[in-house]
Structure 1
């Protein structure tokens, strides 16, 4: 039964990290593409969106990893 808790915890982390990585990229890339089309600055705002998404995702993953690390210690 204890292995099941670890398995579910791992799946929760994988899903959470996946969403945390994907959402900023999709949202900021879409926003950058739309702004590039509006201001005729292609591809600069799209690239800026990707850079901001990478920075944002990195910060969010770091915070979540710290939180999940503490939570993992409590599982033991």
Structure 2
């Protein structure tokens, strides 16, 4: 199972900071996250970047394995 780490607004919407999921691809993971955490989380997820082992996953076909770590990062503002 892949380890999922939620940050900022994504952590608030999921009401936790970490979870594990058994997903074959990033697209599969997105679907599972939306189903588990609901419409508000899905809205936030649509704006998030997903990093697999530190590399941005820009395609839903990116494969996942049980040893992967996926970071769910909402947009950040900075100065």
State the TM-score, normalized to the length of structure 1: 0.23
Higher relative contact order (CA 8 A, sep 6+): 2
More strand by share: 2
* TM-score, scaled relative to structure 2: 0.23
Whose radius of gyration is greater, 1 or 2? 1
Higher helix share: 1
